[in-house]
Amino acid sequence: MSQSVIEPPFMPPKFPTPFSAMGYLFGQFETALPVEHQGKRKGNLQLFDGTILPARVGLTVWQKLSQNPTFNLDKTYLWRVYFRTTTEAKLSQVQLIKCVSLVEDYSFNDLPPQQTASDQFQIQGRILCTDNEKVVIRLERNEIPPPGQENQSRWQPFLITVSGSLPGAEIGQFWELLCIRKGEELVLKEANWVDETITVTKTLPTAVQIPAASASKNSSSTDSSSPIIMINGKQPEMTVKFTTRPELPEQGKTVILEVSGEGGISVRASLNRKTLKKQVEKMDSFADWVAALSGKVARIGSDGVVELEGAGVTVFEKKKQKVEDKPDA
């Protein structure tokens, strides 16, 4: 019998301390409407222990599944899900965002023991309040809303409540919570405090760029003997904003972009010159812009500069909102 039960890993964050609420559920999706209707994205997810959760499938996901000849609503799958909770820590607003794999060879009456505890969830956010029975996490949005959409619900913070206690946790701290499901209830299993000392975002007044060849004399970025920085077993990432256009050399394959900002923090990264040139051209095409240098924190150089690896620059256009003059009363 082939192994069909996968212990789904939660991948390391791609951004500094990203807010996230994601989980995995084994279950069979039952639509609320007849099969011939395309609006059957709403329904229920029947889980192995008999729990039934109202759920829906995202439109894009549903279209892909509908075009997959191997997908069958009568079968049970491992689903990646977004979710919310009630104030009683019960799961709600379950959205199926990906059909990960088919749970083969088993039925609800023939359930492998390890599968009964495989439903798991990861929450990353800030502590809002906690007591001996509940932990409430506040999650914010990782992206800045487009101008004029700041008040829309999709851009608003939300709360996740889990059953359990977190002794020593302080309000405002960033934590990663790993939870399991008991019936409809979300129960805390493991928690990790996230040290945000390094993963900070700064708005920078200057950006200085120099060719990689000459930069190597002053940089320890090529010193492989320097230890890689790790936080909670993971290599942290850092995103730094800047608003000053870097001057590119005419030749060279690689350049070093160094950004110095508030609080005396300086960051540098080795970048492909042609790739950076495209981003600089974007800067020139926008009336107003802000750029972000992001990458994994590799080490602190001997000169005190934070060195990034696998870094890249992204440029965003800043659009001003039009304010209509109101007539005098």
Q: How far is CA 126 from CA 19, 154, 178, 302, in A?
A: 8, 19, 14, 33
The verdict on 134 and 212 lying in the same domain is: no
Residue 240: how many CB atoms within 10 A of its CB? 27
Residue 74: how many CB atoms within 10 A of its CB? 6
Question: Over the stretch 122-165, which tens digit does the pLDDT of each residue have?
Answer: 999 999 999 999 999 999 887 777 788 878 888 888 999 999 99
For residue 2, being part of any structural domain is answered with no
**Quick one: pLDDT at residue 231?**
52
CATH number at residue 279: 2.40.50
For residue 169, being part of any structural domain is answered with yes
| DSSP sequence for 155-168 | GS-EEEEEES--TT
State the residue range of the domain holding 62: 20-193
Residue 127 to residue 60: CA distance in whole angstroms? 33
The verdict on 172 and 220 lying in the same domain is: no
Question: Over the stretch 226-243, which tens digit does the pLDDT of each residue have?
Answer: 555 555 556 677 778 888
The verdict on 111 and 225 lying in the same domain is: no
Residue 99 to residue 112: CA distance in whole angstroms? 20
pTM value? Answer: 0.55
The verdict on 38 and 179 lying in the same domain is: yes
Final residue in a domain of this structure, among 193, 213, 236: 193
Chain CA centroid to CA 12, Å: 9
| DSSP sequence for 132-147 | SSEEEEEE--SSPPPT
Spatial CA neighbour of 83 closest among 32, 28, 123? 123
Do 240 and 293 contact (CB within 8 A), yes or no? yes
The verdict on 163 and 209 lying in the same domain is: no
Do 103 and 4 contact (CB within 8 A), yes or no? yes
For residue 323, being part of any structural domain is answered with no
Final residue in a domain of this structure, among 193, 220, 245: 193
For residue 324, being part of any structural domain is answered with no
The verdict on 159 and 35 lying in the same domain is: yes
**Quick one: pLDDT at residue 60?**
82
Do 82 and 95 contact (CB within 8 A), yes or no? yes
**Quick one: pLDDT at residue 82?**
94
**Quick one: pLDDT at residue 228?**
54
**Quick one: pLDDT at residue 118?**
63
**Quick one: pLDDT at residue 70?**
81
The verdict on 270 and 169 lying in the same domain is: no
Number of structural domains (the chain) is 2
For residue 133, being part of any structural domain is answered with yes
**Quick one: pLDDT at residue 113?**
44
Residue 304 to residue 10: CA distance in whole angstroms? 33
The verdict on 137 and 271 lying in the same domain is: no
Spatial CA neighbour of 71 closest among 101, 35, 109, 31? 101
**Quick one: pLDDT at residue 196?**
65
For residue 299, being part of any structural domain is answered with yes
Those residues of the chain that have pLDDT short of 70 are 1-17, 33-40, 102-118, 196-235, 260-265, 320-329
**What is the percent of the chain where pLDDT is above 70?**
70
